[in-house]
Structure 1
Amino acid sequence: MLFLSTAVAILAALVLADLALSAAVIRRLRETETKLIEMTSPPASGLPLGATMPEFVSPDGQVASADLAGSPTLIGFFSAGCRHCPAQAEKLADRAEEITSNGVRVISFLTVAEGLTDELGPTLRKAGLLVMDDSPSAVMAAFQVQGTPSFVLFGADGRVAARSHDLSEVLGSR
């Protein structure tokens, strides 16, 4: 009987030690997951919510802020070589009809640096107006965009209604 009691006590101690170690491993995994998300997510950038649309003219002169006055506008910033841009460009092209049917204009700015190929252009053209540039432009600076992909949704009043690196977050329930 003493032998069984000792065995049960030792087994209980081992189970408690296992639970403590498992809890420590789970906590460490959660911390690591948080760090990975921070590392892979581009920093929050862009105009703050409620800010007015900055004055701009696209590098090729196709569009200016004055052309967009009074209409809701979704502006997307993309770059060739960006690993997250193709998926977001596909989402934009897939939802373009839905977006424009709600009266929202769609404009995409695509930066294609020297030595890179334009693989996003055909997809982005399906979504609306595409403005291409060979270097990060003054338009990106005006919108305070520091990473691609980035989306900014302006309401009809010309103020930022939503912004994010993910199209789904910007459109929300729209």
Structure 2
Amino acid sequence: MPVLITVVTLVGVLCALDLVLTFGVIKRLREHTEALSNLSGRGSLGPGEEVGTFTTATVDGETLTRDALVGDTLVGFFSPSCAPCREQLPKFVDRARQMPGGREHVLAAVVGDGAAAEHMVAELRAVARVVAERPGGGALSTAFQAVAFPAVLRVSGGDDRTPQVMDARVDLGRPLLAFGQ
């Protein structure tokens, strides 16, 4: 009988210890979830932040500077090595086709090398001014502080106003009528 009491007591202590550890793990997971959700909104400049100065060339040979960002401009950063980028690219292309002002109000950067990057450039070229950049921070990526992909932003500028980010997380599934609201 004393052995049974000892075993039951030991099992009870182990269950209590397990419960305490489980609560600790749950608390830590909540902290990580919060940290990740805060990080996911910071893949580029945030709303209200000014776009940095840049000079770059599009794949068509056009020189592009910050001053070219006039009115509402849809800006997207994609990488061929990123699965969510490949998923969002067709939605971005559809949105770009609907943009008032056409391709002059759409800017896309493909950050990567190889055939997959060339495929993305080819898809975007008809609907956007496209900049191809190597990984590690090209002029456009640096100006927008783009560090996570895909990043889709809405920028507004012109009329002696420095271009700034109006929306750092454009929802490509939302109707264009709501664009800018």
- TM-score over 0.5 (shorter chain): yes
Q: Deviations over 1:97-132 (max 9, x none)?
A: 212358970010101236865331222123211111
Equivalent-residue separation in structure 2 for 1:79 and 1:103 (angstroms): 20
CA distance in 2, matches of 1:155, 1:86: 26
Q: Take 2:48 and 2:148, find their aligned partners in 1: how far apart are those partners? A: 20
Alignment of 1:146-157 (within 5 A): 146-156=147-157, 157=161
1:67 is matched with: 68
What secondary structure sits across from 2:131 in the alignment?
Answer: strand
Aligned residues: 142
Residue 146 of structure 2: aligned partner: 145
1:50 corresponds in structure 2 to 48
Matched residue, 1:24: none
How far the C-alpha of 1:93 sits from its partner, in A, is 1.0
Give the superposition deviation at 1:45. Answer: 2.4
| CA shift in 2, pair 1:82/1:58, >3 Å | same
Q: Superposed, which structure 2 residues align to 1:3-152 within 5 Å?
A: 35=33, 38=36, 42=40, 44-58=42-56, 62=62, 63-68=64-69, 70-101=70-101, 105-113=105-113, 118-135=118-135, 136-152=137-153
Q: Per-residue CA shift, 1:48-103, capped at 9, x if unaligned?
A: 211222211125573111222x3221111111111111121100111222123589
Q: Find the residue that maps to 1:84 and give its secondary structure.
A: helix
Contact 2:110-2:133 at 8 Å conserved across structures:
yes
Instruction: Tell me which amino acid in the other structure corresponds to 2:93.
Output: A
Alpha-carbon distance, 1:168 to partner:
4.0
CA shift at 1:138, angstroms?
2.9
Runs of 5+ consecutive residues of structure 1 not aligned to the other structure: 1-27
Aligned partner of 1:21 in structure 2 is none
TM-score, length of structure 1 as denominator length: 0.64
Distance 1:118 1:163 in 2: 26
**Residue matched to 2:12:** none
* Matched AA of 2:172: L
Alpha carbons of 1:97 and 1:138: their partners in 2 closer, same or farther (altered >3 Å)? closer
Percent identity over the alignment is 22
Q: Distance in 1 between matches of 2:143 and 2:103?
A: 24
- On the 8 A contact 2:104/2:128 being kept in 1, the answer is no
Q: CA deviation at 1:42?
A: 4.3
